[in-house]
Structure 1
Amino acid sequence: MKITSRGIGLLACAGLLLLLGFRFGYPELTLLGAAALIAVGCAVAVAGWRPRLDVSRQAEPDRVGRGEPATMTLTVRNGGRLRSANMIAEDRCGNRPVPVPLLRLRPGRDTTVSYPVPTHRRGVVPVGPLRVTGHDALGLVVLARAHGNTAQVWVHPRIHPLNAVPAGVARSMDGRVDRVPHGSITFDSLREYVVGDELRRVHWRTSARIGELMVREHLDTSLPRIVVLLDDRAAAHPVLVDGVAESFESACEAAASVVAAARREELPIALLLVADPNTGDNFLDRLAAAELRTTSALSRDLSDADPYTSATVAGPAGDPLRAVLDRLRQQRLGDTLIFLTGPGARDDLGQLGALRAAYPSVLAGIFGDPMPAPARTAGVQVLDAADGAEFAAEWNGVRRW
């Protein structure tokens, strides 16, 4: 609750009138001071009335590509029984206020407002809550309250069409394979039998030992497994335009394009961010929420984490890139590694070349660098591109990985 300057002035006058009236015996001044004090009290009571508003919102759709239209529909219902709602309200859509008319909203009635959600930038756009401002007729007191929950609209990076994905070369127990039509028969694990499993896959020795039918699971190691490593370090994207690193936005578009192409071909893919330890299967949402992170911010985020997690993410001497490359070398998450970064990380390609023993195909996409590098640096194939569309054109021009 906030008392306006008019309300403060009226309170001061009320105190002065009451003091003079009682001190010098003027009942008229006392009456005026009491009336002013009562007016302020009534204003507090009127502004402090809390309306029963039921707020619901729906985004259509709640996940869009950058530049695609999205609409937020807000419905406000007066849940009261006696009094109409007559106040000022506004919704928040990102950093933009959206006025919502609540003039003479009768009990049991509702009003609906629809407005576009800005999608010109990749990111997660927060919408809400509805902010209702109550005030009295004299403008002495103003009280603002929040109603309803917030919603989010996920603006994914643009996806540029890629004609093909790497063929992949996998090392397995059956030897070196490449594009095997029916996959390999490498044993992976045992699981319980479920109705519909073929009896020829039952492992009878284990089933007899534990008393339950156990079925063999085989892993198709011939499928290419792609690992996309997105560099979200602020040092890798030093050039900012209006506070936005366009090279990082282009790298996010390239990552989204590779993910979409792999899913189209039904190929397994993993997405890693250099400075962000969070993982998940919804790759496009992760790319929408990705932000540049400084080394100091990363250290603050990991201050409450366990020592093992902190060492794994931050790495030696606070180098998150070295830490994630060590992890990739040890775990061998795939056979094709795609590193997407900005002009500030060109000197790190030497570290990337050390992974050639674990990843037969290593590609680096560098965005926004005015000085293009050779097509092959430190054993790594390099694609220099100004934006995501140029990266897709360069990618489609690669004949052999």
Structure 2
Amino acid sequence: MWITARGAGMLVAAVVLLVAGFRFAYPELALLGAAAAVAVGYAVANAAWRPRLAVTRHAEPDRVARGEPATMTVTARNTGRLRAASLVAEDRCGAATVPVPLLRLRPGRDTTVRYDVPTSRRGVVPVGPLRVTRRDPLGLVAVSRRFGGTVPVWVHPRIHPLAAVPTGAGRSLDGRVDAVPQGSITFDSLREYVVGDELRRVHWRTSARVGELMVRENVDTSLPRLVVLLDNRAVAHPDRAGAVAESFESACEAAASVLTAAYRADLPAVLVLVAPSAVGVAEAAATPLDRLAAAQLGEDTLDAVLTRLRGDRLGDTLVVLTGPGGRAALGRVAALRGAYPSVVVGVFGAAEPANATGLVVIDAADGAAFAAEWDRVRRW
């Protein structure tokens, strides 16, 4: 709650008139001062009344690609029983605000507003809460309250279709298989029997030793796996226009394209970010595309990530996507050739072509150019 300039002037006038009226025995001045004080008191009491509003919102859809339409529907219902709500409200939509008409909202009635969510930029657009401002009829006091929660709208990077994805070379405990498109079955571990398991998978010797049925668990170790490493270090994307690095936006589009192509080809793929995501955002992300929508430029932790990739060996094909500032790190990326038989590097926004021994390097201006160059690669 705050007092407006008019309210402050009224309060000062009330004090001056009351003091002057009683000090110099002018009842007319004292009467005017009392009336001004009553007006201020009424304004405070009127603005202090808290309306009972139930606010619900629904995004249609809540996940879109960059540039696609998204609509937010906001419904505000007066759950009070005695008074009609005469309010001024606005809904927060990203960095902008949208007016919501709530004038003379009677008890039990609701009002619905639909508006477009801006999707011109990749990111997570927080929508809400509804901010309601109430003023007294004289405009002396105002109070703002928030109703409802926040609903995120995930704006994914654009996806450019890719003709194929690398088949890679699968590793198996039984040997090494090159360019395996289907995968095979290899023993991994034992687990307890559950209803529905096939009896031919029961390991009878272990079952007799532990006293309960144990089942062999197999995995597809030779199935090609893709690892997409997105270089979101601030030093890798130094060129920015209005706090937006176009090279990083292009890298996000390329990552989304590769992951989508792998998903459509039924190949497992994993997304790794060099700089960690903000706490809370990564937990809310349900898919790799959500993580790409929330990805931001951060600190340089490339050495730690490369060490983890070398030790964990998450796949057999590594796709590294970086900007003009990441060309200096290509030598360290090339050292992963021992752990990943195929390493593909996409460099965006570089003034000169990048060269790295043993790596497939794709120089591209944006995501569409990367997709075109990707389809021209004949040997991974």
TM normalised by structure 2 equals: 0.96
State the match for 1:79 in structure 2: 79
CA deviation after TM superposition for structure 1 residue 398, in Å: 0.7
State the match for 1:285 in structure 2: 290
Q: Are the counterparts in 1 of residues 170 and 222 from structure 2 also a CA contact under 8 Å?
A: yes
Instruction: Select the residue among 316, 326, 336 that pairs with 1:345.
Output: 326
Name the CA distance, whole Å, in 2 between partners of 1:350 and 1:83. 71
Question: 1:283-337 deviations in whole A, cap 9, x for unaligned?
Answer: 01100000011x3xxxxxxxxxxxxxxxxxxxxxxx5111110111111111100
Moved more, 198-207 or 390-399: 198-207
Name the CA distance, whole Å, in 1 between partners of 2:173 and 2:81. 74
Q: Are the counterparts in 1 of residues 66 and 120 from structure 2 also a CA contact under 8 Å?
A: yes
1:237 partner letter: H
Name the CA distance, whole Å, in 1 between partners of 2:259 and 2:168. 15
State the match for 1:383 in structure 2: 362
Secondary structure at the aligned position of 1:113 is classed as: strand
CA deviation after TM superposition for structure 1 residue 351, in Å: 0.2
How does 1:142-157 map onto structure 2 within 5 Å?
142-157=142-157
Question: 1:137-163 deviations in whole A, cap 9, x for unaligned?
Answer: 111111111111111100011111011
State the match for 2:11 in structure 1: 11
Unaligned runs of 5+ in 2: none
Secondary structure at the aligned position of 2:166 is classed as: coil
Name the CA distance, whole Å, in 2 between partners of 1:249 and 1:268. 24
Q: Are the counterparts in 2 of residues 179 and 223 from structure 1 also a CA contact under 8 Å?
A: no
Question: 1:353-394 deviations in whole A, cap 9, x for unaligned?
Answer: 1111110000110001121224xx132111000111111111
CA deviation after TM superposition for structure 1 residue 182, in Å: 5.8
Secondary structure at the aligned position of 1:349 is classed as: helix
State the match for 1:105 in structure 2: 105
State the match for 1:365 in structure 2: 346
Name the CA distance, whole Å, in 2 between partners of 1:137 and 1:182. 74
Name the CA distance, whole Å, in 2 between partners of 1:112 and 1:327. 51
1:17 partner letter: L
How does 1:86-125 map onto structure 2 within 5 Å?
86-125=86-125
Q: Are the counterparts in 2 of residues 349 and 378 from structure 1 also a CA contact under 8 Å?
A: no
Is 1:21 the equivalent of 2:26?
no
CA separation of 1:365 and 1:182: change in aligned 2, threshold 3 A? closer
Secondary structure at the aligned position of 2:163 is classed as: coil
Secondary structure at the aligned position of 1:352 is classed as: helix
State the match for 1:307 in structure 2: none
Q: Are the counterparts in 2 of residues 132 and 147 from structure 1 also a CA contact under 8 Å?
A: yes
Identity level (%): 70
How does 1:197-346 map onto structure 2 within 5 Å?
197-276=197-276, 282-293=287-298, 295=299, 319-346=300-327
Unaligned runs of 5+ in 1: 296-318
Name the CA distance, whole Å, in 2 between partners of 1:394 and 1:176. 30
State the match for 1:306 in structure 2: none
Question: 1:112-150 deviations in whole A, cap 9, x for unaligned?
Answer: 000000001000000011011100111111111111111
